[in-house]
Structure 1
Amino acid sequence: MIRYITLGTNDLPRAIRFYDAALAPLGLCRLVTEAGEAGYGPPGGMARLWITRPFDGKPATAGNGSMPALTAPSRAAVDDFHAAGLAQGGFDEGAPGLRPYGPDFYAAYLRDPDGNKLSAVCGAA
């Protein structure tokens, strides 16, 4: 259903450092690097998550209520996503742990350095 997601940044090199580190535990990597954007996806796949400077030239702002939830292969990967994101300037929005959305719904929540909220989740909802 979703072709791709874009998240805005005001500092692409800083965002690249954050996303390179935070997405690696989820098996995702940077597939595209352009002057104003970077695209992430599975190795050999298509970029489905794009980090970009806004096309209108105005400052990037975080969406209130927006949050891409990324699939993690394991609880350890959720933990590593959260730790790597914090180490690269992200902000905690919910430490790794079980959530009330299902008996094994294990997730962590972060904001990137630009304030975009992300989660990594493993287990069924």
Structure 2
Amino acid sequence: MILKSLRLGTNDLDKARAFYDATFATLGVAPCAVSGGYPIVLWDLDGFKFLLGAARDGQPATHANGGTIIFEAPTEDAVRAWHAAGLAHGGTDEGGPEPKPQARDAFGAYLRDPDGNKLGIYCGLKMGG
């Protein structure tokens, strides 16, 4: 089974769109593929769909405690640009761009998006044994 999409909650589609358009642009991803007025925002990440929208139960969207979504960057400069774009568009710092000992010294950074979802990005991260 292959995962095809991931949907997170947001309490403000406009803020989410601005944050992810800015951070994804540093990685060469096209702006949000959904025009205004729809109840979701969506990006195509090489065939994988990344979406945000309000919680379906009508309650405020909340972030996962212990959950982190990791993206891949082509270069260390892209990691730095992603982190800076996120901070400039409502994100909060969770670990600046640097070699991360917890990831075998791969170069990475962490942010929380405007809704508190924890995100990471790495260049050179090797998963597994």
Please give the TM-score of this superposition, normalised by the length of structure 1: 0.89
How many residues of Structure 1 are paired with residues of Structure 2 in the alignment? 122
Equivalent position of 1:87 in the other structure = 88
Instruction: Provide runs of 4+ in structure 1 moved above 4 Å.
Output: none
Q: Which amino acid aligns with 1:31?
A: A
Matched ranges for 1:28-107 at <5 A? 28-29=29-30, 30-33=32-35, 35-42=38-45, 45-46=46-47, 48-100=49-101, 101-103=103-105, 105-107=106-108
Cα distance in 1 for partners of 2:59, 2:71 equals: 27
Sequence identity of aligned pairs in percent?
A: 43
Give the Å deviation of 1:46. Answer: 3.4
TM-score (norm: length of structure 2): 0.87
**Contact 2:4-2:47 at 8 Å conserved across structures:** no
Do the aligned partners of 2:6 and 2:49 also contact (CA within 8 Å) in 1? Answer: yes
Offset of 1:120 from its aligned partner?
1.1
Structure 1, unmatched stretches of 5+, are: none
Q: CA deviation digits over 1:46-76, x for unaligned, max 9? A: 3521111111111100111111101111111
